[in-house]
């Protein structure tokens, strides 16, 4: 089965192919405008950031933007110690993988390799619940989304790391059973164990993990995600959210696509409404600013249509 990274890249590639040459050039210029320097891409405040750089490198690879990967690897090595939480470590790892792809090493996604010497130890200690070790016996990641290494979102990020480094997952059954603590009685999942209401992004993360580990078989929680779509074509992050957003829409459409489902409502107009004159995509219809992350999600959503 293809990894989540391969599926995401293929979906982004389909999104790009649906654009006219003029639209592709417009987005390419926007991507270039988001570079903080020769290596890093900017966060929302305009500062160089590893998390945003992972999105920038992904789009750079797809749009043929030149990156000095030798210099990038040197700069990433200097910042490696600052990646002391799961999200930034994942961004660091994926960025190194993308640099290989930019260099033309297309087998990187197919055969995998350890991001660093301690990757195997890093992923194998995740199950302890208290943290994961990386880069040596004394360095341990203890910061996770929602302060929970077993939440659907943390599991999704962890699984991507496992797949990208081609680490064997021996306890699939246990992982799937533990996800049950985040299942909401009315359908869907929350990132908080025992929560009374589900969220689209937690459900999408849980369904991705279940699909990759147990196969993409239709069941009640897939129907929850399918029915969660707004008539506008977008998805709200939760029932409490006031309007749909491009991130939740992209993740939901991506997961439904993995399960072989077309959305309840055509999302094309919703996606196009979030494309700004700058060439980037806005988070919601009420905002007129963008960043490299939301631009990546806009293309991901487009690739599912």
For 141-153, the pLDDT digits (tens) are 678 898 999 999 9
The upper half-sphere exposure of residue 165, i.e. CA atoms within 13 Å in the direction of its Cβ, equals: 25
| The pLDDT value given to residue 120 | 37
Asked if residue 189 lies in contact with residue 198, where contact means CB atoms within 8 angstroms, the answer is: yes
| The pLDDT value given to residue 126 | 42
| The pLDDT value given to residue 107 | 66
| The pLDDT value given to residue 105 | 78
Asked if residue 164 lies in contact with residue 203, where contact means CB atoms within 8 angstroms, the answer is: no
Give 182-194 pLDDT, tens digit per residue.
Answer: 999 989 999 999 9
| The pLDDT value given to residue 156 | 96
| The pLDDT value given to residue 111 | 60
Share of the chain above pLDDT 70, in %: 88
pLDDT block averages, 10 residues each, the chain of length 305: 92 98 98 95 94 97 95 90 85 91 75 44 41 42 86 95 83 94 94 95 98 94 96 95 96 98 97 97 96 98 97
Kindly report the number of other CB atoms within 10 A of residue 138's CB atom: 6
Asked if residue 292 lies in contact with residue 52, where contact means CB atoms within 8 angstroms, the answer is: yes
Alpha-carbon distance of 73 to 76, in angstroms, equals: 5
Beta bridge partners of 35: 41
3-state secondary structure of 182: helix
R_g of the chain computed on alpha carbons: 19
Give 196-215 pLDDT, tens digit per residue.
Answer: 999 999 999 999 999 999 99
| The pLDDT value given to residue 82 | 75
């Amino acid at each position: 089965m293809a990894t989540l990274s391969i599926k995401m890249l293929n979906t982004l590639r389909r999104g790009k192919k649906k654009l006219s040459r003029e639209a592709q050039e417009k987005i390419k210029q926007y991507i270039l405008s988001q570079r903080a320097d020769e290596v890093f891409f900017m966060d929302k405040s305009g500062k160089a950031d590893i998390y945003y750089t992972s999105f920038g490198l992904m789009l750079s690879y797809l749009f043929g933007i030149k990156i000095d990967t030798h210099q990038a690897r040197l700069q990433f090595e200097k910042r490696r110690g600052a990646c002391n939480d799961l999200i930034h470590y994942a961004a660091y790892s994926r960025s190194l993988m993308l640099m290989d792809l930019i260099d033309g090493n297309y087998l990187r996604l197919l055969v995998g390799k350890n991001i660093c010497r301690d990757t195997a130890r890093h992923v194998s200690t995740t199950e302890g619940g208290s943290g994961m070790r990386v880069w040596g016996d004394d360095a341990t990641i203890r910061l996770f989304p929602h302060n929970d290494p077993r939440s659907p979102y943390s599991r999704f990020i962890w699984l991507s790391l496992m797949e990208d480094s081609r680490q064997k997952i021996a306890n699939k059954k246990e992982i799937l059973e533990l996800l049950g603590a985040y299942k909401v009685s009315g359908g869907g999942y929350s990132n908080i164990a025992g929560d009374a209401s589900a969220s689209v992004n937690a459900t999408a993360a849980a369904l991705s993990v279940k699909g990759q580990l147990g196969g993409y078989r239709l069941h009640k929680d897939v129907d929850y995600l399918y029915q969660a779509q707004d008539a506008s074509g977008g998805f709200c992050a939760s029932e409490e959210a006031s309007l749909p957003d491009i991130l939740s829409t992209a993740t939901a459409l991506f997961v439904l696509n993995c399960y072989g489902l077309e959305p309840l409502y055509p999302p094309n107009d919703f996606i196009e409404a979030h494309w700004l004159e700058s060439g980037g995509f806005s988070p919601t219809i009420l905002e007129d600013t963008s960043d490299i992350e939301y631009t990546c999600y806009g293309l991901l959503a487009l690739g599912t249509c």
